[in-house]
Structure 1
Amino acid sequence: MSRFAILITPFLWLAMLVMPVAAHAERVRDLGSFQSVRSNQLTGYGIVVGLDGTGDDNLAYLTQAMRGVSGRFGLQLPAGVNPALKNAAAVMITAELPAFAKPGQRIDITVSTIGKAKSLRGGALILTPLYGADGEIYAMAQGNLAVAGLGVSGKDGSKLTVNVPTVGRIPEGASVERAVATGFDSAPVLRWNLSQADFLTASRVRDAINSAYPGIATIEDGVTLALTLPMGANERAGMMARIEMLDVTPAETAAKVIVNSRSGTVVISKMVRLSPAAISHGSLILRVEENPQVSQPAPFSKGKTAVVPDSTITAEQQGNHVALFEPGASLSDVVAALNALGASPSDLVAILEALKQAGSLRAEMVVI
């Protein structure tokens, strides 16, 4: 394969990925969600016991936590005594409480160390309350951990770690104790939020809903629609289900150029346009070659063997082409011109930045 073909291949893929396509309808449920129908995050602080010498050892906060745990069971540790706790670890527990979760249902939890514990493999979590953002207890967690990673060490200091042994999960490890009030069946107005703010998309969603149920949807801003639905969970749930399945054609995405400065990846949206501009792109290749020679004196000349430097310097200008963009040039024109210039991904970033500075690139540049 020629060098030119190798250079243009990434841009051919880029053109295939972001070439304009016909707009198509999306379901309302794929464009956003109802404000009250959401999950809630839970957190808790607990102790994992039963570890095989991979715990937190003698850390003060672990000792204090163990005193609290033992106190709940009527066991008082002597004051001033810090037990060796290599078989225990202080952990943070996180979980996600689904919408409409009811007491008695089970949810998955994730357990992570917060100290110097080396591994949670083989440990068991002691009964721990999980709190919501309001400080109330919503679930109780307990169970044996499933840890995908492992870590071992030798007496000479050598270590081997596979995956992350300091994080584990307990499937269905927490029992829901309190339901979250959503106001789903009694709120006078239900709000539906777009995943991304867009006034045109919000207007189209409103029109689609009002076509099915006249006059129930109004726009509050570029994200939120207010829906006036009849009271009662039974009828309201049926209407919400039908609303979520309505088809809406979303608005065209904004013109953006996304640049990943670490990997050199560049993504150009199909709405990018260029005003009149000319691009000259070329690279100067400077080569310095050193070919030292050994100088051997003639016999009986009393000379010494020496290394004689031999340098060769060459300069070469490659790719000195100029590309001209007419007014309103589209993405396909940009890709075709950059292919002709033989630009590499790093060159593409430099060219786009220069076009933006010149005011010719009609798009927002986002560097991540």
Structure 2
Amino acid sequence: MTHPTSTFDSLPTPVRPVWLRVCALLVCLLMLPFAHATRIKEVASIEGVRSNALTGFGLVVGLDGTGDQTTQMPYTTQGLSNYLKQLGLTLPPAQLAQLQMKNVAAVLVTSQLPAFARPGQALDVNVSSLGNAKSLKGGTLISTPLKGADGEVYALAQGNLIVAGAGASAGGSKVTVNHLSVGRIPEGAQVERSVPTALQVGESLNLSLNASDFQTARRVAEAVNRRFGAGVAQAFDGRTVQVRAPINPNDRISFIAEMEELPVQTSVAAAKVIVNSRTGSIVLNQSVTLGACAIAHGNLSITISSTPVISQPNPLSGGQTVVSEQTSINIRQEAGQLIQIPAAAQLSDVVRALNSLGATPQDLLAILQAIKSAGALNAELEVI
């Protein structure tokens, strides 16, 4: 009986050692720390090319009796008075104080003015109630100027609100789905003034890394120099890379477009554990490792119960019924078992080791801090 011949057996004898060395090299490459190949545009941005926040005070009208109570919200009445004056209508102060406009709500309008925005471009706006309006559903935002940090008007907002929610109330009961006091107007604002961007100024431009990392800054500079020539880019620090760019505007745009598409190898992120103390959320990245340690964790519970005790006087004694409370306090502490945690070199091993404790997320907050203090957690612990 003949056995099938494998591909390796069919190779000539002198070729086999070479084949084995190639396989060994591939295995070694796979065992190297994993590096992510991304484009420069995904790890850095052009310094100065950014959006600007816009905000403005406005009024939403046409509400179905769910607006502000103007007697409690004077700025709603004042805002309406200022708007009517612009239309040529003036009401005496006494009449303004008596108005009960339940179909008007004072709102704050916010938006983002993107880089290179030109007059006439449409922007999305968010509308949020400033007073005690019950709902903005079905309302219309009247013309509202949106100002920047310098106090200048850069856009005008107006339109019908979209409120993703519903609510009903009757007989003291109330049911609400989502927030009714916040709405959105797609393309509800129009740009009136552009913000100049210093993209075509000077002989060079700066690349600002999304995260400070000296290794990434060095690799970005090397990628640019490898494509456009030595000395074109140089890293200033862990976040800034200065790049010499063409003076001609069209050539500079083409240079930036090609530079942003260059691949760059980003280093593995620093080991970090993010702890949200408000929600109890814990997030670990792939670089977190754990040293061998032993943990004993027990739960302490305190229970306080109060039972009413009624003391009644004898008949015809003239006494009064007295109600007192009998309080019982019970303290219970569970036995803490000493658990040995092995050293974990990968994120999956760390997760498996922490799950073996059987602790709640709130307990893990204290356990991780204790492990860090003991020197067994090889990561930066950040509490947000």
TM-score (structure 2 length as normaliser): 0.74
Shift of 1:348: 5.1
Task: Tell which deviates more after alignment, 164-173 or 144-153.
Answer: 144-153
Task: Tell which deviates more after alignment, 170-179 or 343-352.
Answer: 343-352
Match of residue 63 from structure 1? 77
Shift of 1:125: 1.1
Change (3 A) 1:74 1:195: same
Residue by residue over 1:226-267, the C-alpha shift from the partner in whole angstroms, topping out at 9 and shown as x without a partner, is 222112321111111111111111122112223344565544
| Paired residues of 2:37 and 2:264 also in contact (CA < 8 A) | yes
| Paired residues of 2:55 and 2:147 also in contact (CA < 8 A) | yes
Number of aligned residue pairs: 317
| 1:118-157 alignment runs, 5 A limit | 118-154=134-170, 156-157=171-172
Q: Structure 1 counterpart of 2:188, which letter?
A: G
Match of residue 190 from structure 1? 205
Match of 2:122 among 97, 106, 112: 106
Change (3 A) 1:337 1:219: same
Match of 1:49 among 61, 65, 87: 61
| Paired residues of 1:51 and 1:120 also in contact (CA < 8 A) | yes
What is the identity percentage for the equivalent residue pairs of Structure 1 and Structure 2?
Answer: 49
Name stretches of at least 5 consecutive residues in structure 2 with no aligned partner: 1-31, 302-332
Match of residue 242 from structure 2? 226
Measured in 2, the distance between the counterparts of 1:255 and 1:55 equals 50
Match of 1:162 among 173, 177, 190: 177
Match of 2:375 among 346, 359, 364: 359
Match of residue 273 from structure 2? 257
Residue 217 of structure 2 is aligned to residue 199 of structure 1: no
Match of 1:29 among 36, 41, 47: 41
Residue 340 of structure 2 is aligned to residue 322 of structure 1: yes
Change (3 A) 1:263 1:94: closer
Shift of 1:42: 0.7
SS of 1:25 mapped into structure 2: strand
Change (3 A) 1:279 1:72: same
SS of 1:249 mapped into structure 2: strand
Residue 240 of structure 2 is aligned to residue 240 of structure 1: no
Q: Structure 2 counterpart of 1:252, which letter?
A: V
Shift of 1:171: 1.2
Task: Tell which deviates more after alignment, 74-83 or 99-108.
Answer: 74-83
Match of 2:91 among 62, 73, 77: 77
| Paired residues of 2:36 and 2:267 also in contact (CA < 8 A) | no
Q: Structure 2 counterpart of 1:185, which letter?
A: Q
Match of 2:227 among 190, 208, 212: 212
Q: Structure 2 counterpart of 1:27, which letter?
A: R
Match of residue 17 from structure 1? none
Name stretches of at least 5 consecutive residues in structure 1 with no aligned partner: 1-19, 287-314
Change (3 A) 1:331 1:158: closer
Measured in 2, the distance between the counterparts of 1:67 and 1:151 equals 30
SS of 1:80 mapped into structure 2: helix
Shift of 1:360: 3.2
SS of 1:81 mapped into structure 2: helix
Shift of 1:134: 1.3
| Paired residues of 2:339 and 2:357 also in contact (CA < 8 A) | no
Shift of 1:219: 2.1
Measured in 2, the distance between the counterparts of 1:332 and 1:172 equals 45
Residue by residue over 1:133-170, the C-alpha shift from the partner in whole angstroms, topping out at 9 and shown as x without a partner, is 1111111111111222233322x332222211111111
Relative CO higher for 1 or 2, CA cutoff 8 Å, sep ≥ 6?
1
Change (3 A) 1:43 1:261: closer
Shift of 1:101: 1.0
Task: Tell which deviates more after alignment, 63-72 or 184-193.
Answer: 184-193
Change (3 A) 1:89 1:260: closer
